[in-house]
Amino acid sequence: MLDHDVKYLRFKSYLNTYCPHCQNSFNVDKKSHKQLEFKAVYEGQPIDLFLSPYLDVFEVEASIPLKKDDVLDDLICPHCNNSLIKKDIQCGECGSHVAYVTITAVSRLIPFFICTKYGCEWHGLTKKDERHIKLKIPRQNMPEQDQTLRVHNHQEVPYGYTSELALLEAGRCLQCKNPQCVTGCPVNVDIPVFVALVADGQFDAAAKKIKERNVFPAICGRVCPQENQCELKCILGVKDDPVAIGRLERFVADYERKMELVKIPMAAKNTGKKIAVIGSGPGGLTVASDMRQLGYSVTVFEALHELGGVLTYGIPEFRLPKSVVQFEIDYLKQLGVRFELNHVIGNIYTIDELLEHFDAVYIGVGAGLPMFMGVEGENLGNVFSANEYLTRMNLMKAYRFPEYDTPMPKGNRVAVIGGGNVAMDCARTAQRTGAQEVTIVYRRSRHELPARIEEVHHAEEEGIRFMLLTSPIRYIGTDSNRVKAMECIRMKLGEPDASGRRRPVPIEGSNFVQDCDMVIIAIGNGPNPVIFSSSPNLKRNKWGYIEYNPETMETSIENVYAGGDIVTGSATVIQAMGAGRIAANAMHAKLQSKK
Amino acid sequence: MAKGTIIRFDLSAPKIAAKAKAGQFVIVRVNETGERIPLTIADKDEFAGTITIIFQIVGKTTALMRSLKEGDLIRDVVGPLGRPAEVENLGTVVMVGGGTGVAILHHVAKAFKEAGNYVISIMGARDRELIILEREMAQISDELVITTDDGSYGQRGFVTDPLKKYLGERYDIKLVYAIGPIIMMKNIVKLTKQHQVKTLVSLNPIMIDGTGMCGGCRVKVNDQTMFCCVDGPDFDGFQVDFDELILRNSLYLKEEKDSLLFSIR
């Protein structure tokens, strides 16, 4: 019941307790739990209004019988005796100076918005009360596809917020003076401001606000691990659930896109300088967008036949629809960014050659070399790297085989090795291709699963089994050399290692054999050697990633910048974007001073 | 070219032509729904900006390519990929090619010849119809031997027969470079191992992206997993696990057939 009422709180409270002219609300003294008396004018006669201000129950009584939709001539604040109606503004509808009060016997509504315009303290709720009220609203869930139906299609699982849900969720934000959420965001989106704009119904303005810092909110709203970033820092999260910042971000970005409110910004005056971006993943696209808007001419080189990098080949359709990615890329094209497909830098051009034609180069090639465990039988048929599996499915659209020519790897009993987001993506994709049983095999416990909680939750809903504290030690093949089973060993958690997570230790003699006819290995990626083979002077750190200056993202070669997974190892979309932003700023500063 | 099943294309790809070296390959995607297939660059013409690819019709994509006419466009061509063959002046080298492998062999043999080597070429095919690039090979080889399985042209037998003869007679052979069906390369390596002659083989496993991203092309070399597209395609023949490669390459035969049937329907 309460949920239902709370949902429409803003609209109903508007009817109940707002002046339609100034949109200020009346306030009530909740602590006393006494009826409050308002002076009002009705048809030229002064009347009294009573509001009984229980937190959940807000009653309005009048000294003369008022009917629903009766119109008051005036309404006066009982404390400061100011009119709550601005006399000099007439109602656009009726032309009179009126307040509008609906009379309901009991409505379970809370006066919510705050009147401070008249300088009367009493008009406003105290900060504490406001908090108290806001804390009562639960975190809103996103509507999503039914779990039994969705395993049979590849469409996106969550539908996203409706505007009602978004208003309500945004209303939960306490608007902290010292917002921690902003510090948790790798690109420092001004979160409280955008959430306030959402709460105010200005969805378009909210989207524009995010775009000041983050070029692709529709993508980040879907794939960012908010629970480890902005939402982790949210004060509400200490005792309760944090504000669903990611869902709001997604909502406003989708709103802006669907309502066709996206505007192509004017690029600054052409500087005559040229930038090359290697890789069209999230980091590269961020650099391209930033530099283009600063007036540089930007060319993006992509090795594959489609743009978007991991957003296209890696993240499945049901988590990030390709139409969203395509929209953002079209946006960049309209901005004037040039894209060159099928260009493997390192082979077709070396970095030195690029520097002859471009003033600066950004390397955002990601970490694309899949790792294997080096156990026996790993090269058997139907043992895939997560990259191969996802590339086949997403980039080559193998799930539409034979309409598309790339064959789809199929299995009835699928084992996915690893516990990250990629593992979840693989498992859920396999489930959608009709596998009878999909198992995630992870060597640590549930607590250490690196995947987003939301993804783990989705995977479990879809019927994916979790085999935790287990690690494969051997794959067993059939006569035709396809995998038919794997031998696993149970693990226990030992002392914490360098990453702070407890190290898994095998339990002697706990081996067992598990049947499986397809294995997907999703244990991470290393740096791709192609770019290095042609640029020996590009310095690398001991893990093989590019060495860089963290303040400017510049590498050991002057005017060559790098960011994202190729400098940090496998990380997230937003971290790559953050690195791209730093590099773009540094590039701009340097190129500007060179004039 | 030989009639019917082996086809030669000259693709206009000036950027690739400017960079391509012997032994490198390109990945081709014919149309929007197509798969990505690796094809080795058989020759290039920097001035005309073209690269040559030669392929045999084995599946849907190659069949589709056959239907293309001069002036048609191919959706995507990406390259040059893979490491170029390490060409140096060694003295005497033997180049062995089987089937369409000769197409690739030609490019590499040419490079070895230009580096000043004495080039002995052995090319084999199932029958006369499948012999390709004979004239071109003759031009760049100091000695050329042709074998066919059925004896319809050249010597009857397999490429290993003349190779065995050469290895037995000449002790100055420094390198054997082999490319063709995996089973042929396997047998060549068996032979050269007996004579302890360094052997390079050019592998052509199943590939998707060709840039080291998917790991679909992994081969076991010296008990380590290597990615053919970025670590290869040339490997030390003594260390390659050919049996595994044969099995890996036959994984999609059924799907290949389904795909063809679908396109016919």
Residue of chain B nearest A386, judged by CA positions: B214
pLDDT at position A66: 58
The beta strand positions in A232-357, using DSSP E, are 274-278, 297-301, 338-340
CA distances from A567 to A362, A367, A368, A369, A575 (A): 12, 9, 12, 14, 11
pLDDT tens for each residue of A352-386:
888 999 999 999 988 888 888 888 888 888 888 99
Under CATH, domain A147-258 is a member of which superfamily? Alpha-helical ferredoxin (1.10.1060.10)
pLDDT tens for each residue of A465-506:
999 999 999 999 888 888 899 999 999 888 887 777 788 889
Residue of chain B nearest A377, judged by CA positions: B244
pLDDT at position A300: 93
- Is the distance from CB of A471 to CB of A511 less than 8 angstroms? no
Could you tell me where in chain B the CATH 3.40.50.80 domains are found?
92-249
CA distances from A79 to A17, A42, A123, A160, B72 (A): 16, 20, 8, 43, 83
pLDDT-based confidence at residue A114 (cuts at 50, 70, 90) = very low
CATH classification number, B92-249, choose in 3.40.50.170, 3.40.50.80, 3.90.199.10, 3.30.450.20? 3.40.50.80
pLDDT-based confidence at residue A439 (cuts at 50, 70, 90) = very high
pLDDT at A17 over 60: no
Interface contact B16, partner A, CB < 8 A: yes
Considering all CA atoms of chain A, what is the largest pairwise distance in Å, rounded to the nearest integer? 97
Q: Work out the mean pLDDT of chain A and round it to a whole number.
A: 78
* Residues B213, A341: C-beta atoms closer than 8 Å: no
Span A393-404, mean pLDDT? 82
Interface contact A348, partner B, CB < 8 A: yes
pLDDT-based confidence at residue A415 (cuts at 50, 70, 90) = very high
pLDDT at position A250: 92
- Smallest CA–CA separation between A311 and chain B, in Å? 14
The yes-or-no answer to whether A147-258 and A274-368+526-593 have a common fold is no
User: What is the share, in percent, of chain B residues with pLDDT greater than 70?
Assistant: 96
Spell out which residues of chain A touch residue B258, defining contact as CB-CB under 8 Å: 401-402, 407
In eight-state DSSP terms, residue A193 is H
Between strands A560-562 and A297-301, the pairing is unpaired
The beta strand positions in A364-408, using DSSP E, are 369-370, 383-385
pLDDT at A20 over 70: no
* Residues A406, B35: C-beta atoms closer than 8 Å: yes
- Is the distance from CB of B15 to CB of B50 less than 8 angstroms? no
Interface contact A529, partner B, CB < 8 A: yes
Residue of chain A nearest B230, judged by CA positions: A530
Angstrom distance (rounded) from CA A240 to CA A135: 8
Angstrom distance (rounded) from CA A505 to CA A496: 11
Span A148-174, mean pLDDT? 84
Tell me the two tokens of residue A398: 């193998």
Interface probe with B: pick from A347, A372, A400, A523, most Cβ of B within 10 Å:
A347
Angstrom distance (rounded) from CA A228 to CA A198: 23
CATH code given to domain B2-81: 2.40.30.10
From the list A304, A348, A404, the residue facing B209 with the nearest CB is A304
* Residues A482, B251: C-beta atoms closer than 8 Å: yes
pLDDT at position A473: 92
* Residues B213, A387: C-beta atoms closer than 8 Å: yes
pLDDT at B175 over 60: yes
Could you tell me where in chain B the CATH 2.40.30.10 domains are found?
2-81
pLDDT-based confidence at residue B263 (cuts at 50, 70, 90) = low
Residue A36 CB partners (closer than 8 Å, separation 6+):
A28, A29, A50, A51, A52, A53, A78
Q: Is A128 exposed, middle or buried (0-12, 13-18, 19+ CB in 10 A)?
A: exposed
Angstrom distance (rounded) from CA A414 to CA A431: 9
CA distances from A283 to A309, A360, A563, A584 (A): 9, 15, 7, 10
From the list A343, A344, A405, the residue facing B259 with the nearest CB is A405
pLDDT-based confidence at residue A37 (cuts at 50, 70, 90) = low
Angstrom distance (rounded) from CA A491 to CA A561: 42
Span A70-86, mean pLDDT? 57
Span A171-198, mean pLDDT? 88
pLDDT at position A51: 53
From the list A305, A391, A482, the residue facing B213 with the nearest CB is A391
For chain A, the domains span 4-130, 147-258, 274-368+526-593, 372-523
Spell out which residues of chain B touch residue A341, defining contact as CB-CB under 8 Å: 76
Nearest to A176 by CA among A191, A189, A162: A191
**Helix, strand, coil percentages, rounded to 5, for chain A:** 35, 20, 45
Residue of chain A nearest B24, judged by CA positions: A347
Using the structure block, give the residue that is written with the tokens 């060179």: A594
From the list B60, B80, B215, the residue facing A405 with the nearest CB is B60
Residue A402, preceding bond cis, omega within 30 degrees?
A: yes
Angstrom distance (rounded) from CA A594 to CA B22: 42
pLDDT at position B170: 82
pLDDT tens for each residue of A270-321:
888 899 999 999 999 999 998 998 889 999 999 888 898 889 888 998 899 9
- Is the distance from CB of A247 to CB of A241 less than 8 angstroms? no
Tell me the two tokens of residue A199: 């709460």
pLDDT-based confidence at residue A76 (cuts at 50, 70, 90) = low
Lowest mean pLDDT among A449-458, A537-546, B203-212: B203-212
- Is the distance from CB of A591 to CB of A556 less than 8 angstroms? no
Spell out which residues of chain A touch residue B15, defining contact as CB-CB under 8 Å: 343, 348
Angstrom distance (rounded) from CA A298 to CA A311: 20
* Residues A528, B211: C-beta atoms closer than 8 Å: yes
* Residues B33, A397: C-beta atoms closer than 8 Å: yes
CA distances from A549 to A363, A516, A546, A558, A576 (A): 14, 46, 10, 11, 15
User: What is the share, in percent, of chain A residues with pLDDT greater than 70?
Assistant: 78
Angstrom distance (rounded) from CA A81 to CA A74: 12
pLDDT at position A400: 79
**Is domain A372-523 annotated with CATH 3.40.50.620?**
no
* Residues A370, B214: C-beta atoms closer than 8 Å: yes
Residue with the larger pLDDT of the pair A193 and B259: A193
Interface predicted TM-score of the whole assembly (ipTM), two decimals: 0.85
Using the structure block, give the residue that is written with the tokens 């309409």: A403
User: In the CATH hierarchy, which fold is given to the domain comprising A274-368+526-593?
Assistant: FAD/NAD(P)-binding domain (3.50.50)
Angstrom distance (rounded) from CA B126 to CA B128: 7
Span A111-134, mean pLDDT? 45
B98: enclosing H helix or E strand? strand B92-98
pLDDT at A16 over 50: no
Angstrom distance (rounded) from CA A586 to CA A558: 12
pLDDT at A50 over 60: no
Angstrom distance (rounded) from CA A259 to CA A244: 22
pLDDT-based confidence at residue A191 (cuts at 50, 70, 90) = very high
- Smallest CA–CA separation between A526 and chain B, in Å? 10
The conformational region for residue B180 under phi > 0 = left, psi -120 to 50 = alpha, else beta, is left
